[in-house]
Amino acid sequence: MKRLIVASLLITIPLFFYCAAYTSLQPVGKDRITGNFSIGGPIISAFGTRIPVPYGTAGLNYGLSDQTNLNSNLHMLSLAYQVAGLDVGVTWFPVQNEGWIPTIGLAPRCLMLMSLKSDVTSRFRAYPLVTTSALWKKGNGHIYTGLDIIIPFSEADYDDEAVSIIFSPFAGYRLPLSDRLNLLTEIKWMGANVESDQLAVEYVPVNGYGAVTTLFSIERRF
């Protein structure tokens, strides 16, 4: 039972949330909408090789104002396990890219999971998190970096050593494919402050911590 809560969190939470390229990188404009589809996942060691776990999400960004986006993402693979997953949030952009000054985004969000099974005693879970991002113009596209900070609701009775906050830094490049279409490629270090030997699944870690994740997203402006 030692470290059981950490193993559970690092398997479940990344599966249902982290595995989506981050797309709310700059304001979409008041009353404008962008849609996105993301696929990717943590790299695991299995069958004598290393393979990414496929995971798909579909989302929307809506411009509440010229400085604020409303975000939502539906987690599709979780439905195969009879779990509905949805995250919603708001991104505020206090600074816009000018030269070396990046577009800065601050996004409080909430991940909500609901079991669709009939024989469960606990049906609903909610996880608060905050995402920060910075985006710069580079060539025809944009480079970006950021950090996911998630606060799991864990009980100390399960593990006195369980982390109270999980950090997941990421970086990527957004390439325009047309006037309305972008391709995002991203790499993320999930659970960068969690020792990999606490995990039940053999992820590919960085220096013994977390899990390396590769992500791709198609984004379309409407």
| Residue written as token pair 């996911």 | 148
Q: Most confidently modeled of 8-22, 48-62, 161-175?
A: 161-175
Q: Check pLDDT > 50 for residue 157.
A: no
**Whether this model's pTM surpasses 0.85:** no
- How much is the mean pLDDT over the chain? 80
pLDDT the model gives residue 177:
95
Q: Check pLDDT > 80 for residue 108.
A: yes
Which tokens go with 40? 């990717």
Pairing of strands 103-115, 55-63: unpaired
Q: Check pLDDT > 50 for residue 170.
A: yes
Burial class of residue 126 (count of CB atoms within 10 Å of its CB; 0-12, 13-18, 19+): exposed
Q: Check pLDDT > 90 for residue 77.
A: no
Q: Please indicate whether residue 152 or residue 114 has the higher confidence score (pLDDT).
A: 114
Read off φ and ψ for residue 197, nearest 5 degrees.
Answer: -75, -5
Mean pLDDT over 52-75 rounds to 88
Q: Check pLDDT > 50 for residue 6.
A: no
CB 155 within 8 A of CB 162: no
Q: Check pLDDT > 80 for residue 65.
A: yes
Q: Domain ranges in the chain?
A: 4-162+176-221
pLDDT the model gives residue 125:
77
